[in-house]
Amino acid sequence: MSGTHRILIIEDDPAILEMLRSALGREGFLIDEATDGIEGLALFSGRDYDLVLVDLMLPRLDGMEVIRRIREKSNVPILIMSAKDGDVDKALGLGFGADDYIQKPFSTIELSARMKAAIRRATVYSSAERQTDPSMSIGELELDLENFSVKKKGQEVRLTAKEFEILKLFATNKNRVFTKSQLYGLIWNDDYMGDENVINVHIRRLREKIEEDPSRPAYIKTLWGIGYKWEGG
């Protein structure tokens, strides 16, 4: 599935760039490269990409700011690469709108699998079949399942692809309880390895966008020790 997909790699380490160029090139990905944040944004502005792979520690403009600026105008899948460890770094990166996180050093096989999954999700969104009733009104929210858009009180809410996927899953399965393991399998299409941070951050960011009071959510309820369920409307 990778033969026609163009990706942008923003990484300043020549050895890692060479590794990625070789491994991903063999799988048929079309690759553009940038070695700093400014160059990366310039390349992104001039061409359409199916995925952006970005390091956090970049010269001239760091990876967080690169992600923030890309997210202002695009929902392209973004994967973070970083040698940093710990939930704080993961939460910060995902909070800025990244779709996934992989820690250095990593296996190119694992990276490729995550990239393909992210591209596959985005492709499903853009090529989804028309539905009989693509619109849903839930409380103050209006969901357009065909165009993957959300409005709150008539104002558009910008969601990442994964945030929309989570929202759609909950909204179309009202009152169903989803464990974190189930959410991870359904949204990330991968086996749950016990890393709750990825799920927690996405739920928190989604609540910040759709809830009137994220600390007292009316839509996505937490069932402590179990998971989440939708109770809004």
List pLDDT tens digits, range 16-32: 999 999 999 999 999 99
How far CA 149 is from CA of 37, 142, 143, in Å, comes to 29, 8, 6
Domain(s) labelled CATH 3.40.50.2300 in the chain stretch across: 6-126
pLDDT greater than 60 at residue 125: no
What CATH architecture does domain 6-126 belong to? 3-Layer(aba) Sandwich (3.40)
pLDDT at 149 over 90: no
pLDDT band at 192 (very low <50, low <70, confident <90, very high): low
| CB atoms inside a 10 Å sphere around CB 115 | 23
Which spans in 72-126 are helix H?
Answer: 87-95, 108-126
pLDDT mean across residues, the chain: 84
**pLDDT for the residue numbered 206:** 93
> Is residue 217 reached through a cis peptide bond, with omega within 30 degrees of 0 on the bond before it?
no
What is the location of CATH 1.10.10.10 in the chain?
135-230
CATH class, range 135-230? mainly alpha
Three-state secondary-structure class, residue 206? helix
pLDDT (mean) for 94-120: 83
Residue 97 pLDDT = 73
> How far, in Å, are 12, 55, 92, 93, 162 from residue 38 at the CA level?
12, 13, 20, 18, 26
Report which listed range, 3-12, 38-47, 91-100, 150-159, is most confident: 38-47
State residue 112 phi and psi, 5-degree precision. Answer: -60, -40
Q: What is the mean pLDDT of residues 29-41?
A: 96
Q: Are 41 and 70 in contact (CB under 8 A)?
A: yes
pLDDT, greater one: 133 or 40: 40
| Distances 48 to 5, 25, 32, 52, 70 between C-alpha atoms, Å | 10, 18, 11, 10, 12
